[in-house]
Amino acid sequence: MSRYQGIYASLIEQYIDFKRNLGYKFKDAESVYYLFDQFTILNGETEIGITKELANKWAVKRPNESDSTCYKRVMYLIQFSSFLNDSGYPSYILRLPKAYKSTFTPYIFSREEMKAIFEASDRLKIDNSMDSAVNVIPAILRMLYGTGIRIGEAVSLKVKDVNLTEKYIIIRQSKNGMERMIPFSDSLADVCRQYRNSLQVLQDPEDYFFVKRNGRRCNPKGIYEWFRKVLWEAGISHGGKRQGPRLHDLRHAFSVHSLTAMAESGLDLYYSLPILSEYLGHQSLEATEKYVRLTSEMYPGLIHDVNSICAYAFPEVDLP
């Protein structure tokens, strides 16, 4: 049974299927269209075709709604209205509001902080709970920093996706729905082997790579809770909820430190962009370019101050 109940139910489903066939995961949009579906029911809509009145009513910013959320709601309605017009249902197309630009600045861990994080994770004691993820922490934190993958991508890795011999992982469930292969360093491979050797469970290729002591899959929330403990042990202060440092900031640190390492090797930062973009799974270079600004403007010292901590980042590659 469809989750959509309004007059646009079948058309919403058609549009979502169309976008997903193009490779988009479209999870956020699906939630927005569910709200729009309920909105049309509450407003008593009986005829297909979005009117100017209905569109303007939808675009009104709601109490306690952020600018970014309102922007996305309007954007998704504009896209759906265009789809309706192309499908033969005349619909009003709103003007997109001024693009919301976040002022958020990610926390970039220094090389000393990354070293402290790794050392603190290695000092964690295995507790008596078989449902604990403490055994995973040293390896998964290095995986996040050493490859720049997202925590959701890390916990979704299967045994078959991690090749410790040829040293690469395959990301099959990415944010943008794109499959990609990521090589990693010898040092990261060694840590992952140590983790795998510590497991006392038999696994098939289809089982998850990062599992608790009882063999069950890890979840991002549990990993984040352990990450907070590691930060405390490493002497890195946390600003509180929504302040960070966040687990996702390991991805930002990977990006800045990797650009720094490539710059130190003599590679121009903008020539480095396609390499980093491929690692991160971005759909455009524009999404990656912010790391050039972070590296060259916010943290210029990193350009000239790299040591062995970056061994966890890019593996050595012999260029032709």
Distance of alpha carbon 173 from alpha carbon 181, whole angstroms: 12
- Cis bond upstream, residue 63 (ω within 30): no
- Secondary structure of the chain as H, E, C letters: CCCCCCCCHHHHHHHHHHHHHCCCCCHHHHHHHHHHHHHHHHCCCCCCCCCHHHHHHHHCCCCCCCHHHHHHHHHHHHHHHHHHHHCCCCCCCCCCCCCCCCCCCCCCCCHHHHHHHHHHHHCCCCCCCCCCCCCCHHHHHHHHHHHCCCHHHHHCCEHHHEECCCCEEEECCCCCCCCEEEECCHHHHHHHHHHHHHCCCCCCCCCECCECCCCCECCHHHHHHHHHHHHHHHCCCCCCCCCCCCCCHHHHHHHHHHHHHHHHCCCCHHHHHHHHHHHHCCCCHHHHHHHHHHHHHHCHHHHCCCCHHHHHCCCCCCCC
C-beta atoms surrounding 271 within 10 Å:
10
Q: Residue 204: name the closest of 164, 163, 159, 239 by CA.
A: 159
- At 171-211, the pLDDT tens digits run 986 665 668 899 999 999 999 999 998 887 778 999 999 99
pLDDT of residue 314: 47
Among 320, 308, 315, which residue's Cα sits nearest to residue 118?
Answer: 308
Is the model more confident about 288 or about 5? Answer: 5
| Amino acid of residue 225 | E
Burial of 8 (0-12, 13-18, 19+ CB in 10 A): buried
In angstroms and rounded to an integer, the radius of gyration of the C-alpha atoms of the chain is 23
* Per-residue confidence band for 102, with pLDDT thresholds at 50, 70 and 90: low
143 near 254, Cβ under 8 Å?
no
Q: What is the pLDDT of residues 84-101, one digit of tens each?
A: 999 999 999 998 777 666
Give the predicted TM-score (pTM) of the model.
0.66
Which pLDDT band, with edges at 50, 70 and 90, does 304 fall under?
very low
Q: How confident is the model at residue 1 (pLDDT cuts 50, 70, 90)?
A: low
> The tokens of 95 are what?
């003007």
The residues, any chain, with a CB within 8 Å of residue 45's CB and separated by 6 or more, are: 6, 7, 8, 54
Mean pLDDT calculated for residue range 66-92: 91
- Per-residue tokens: 208: 């998850």
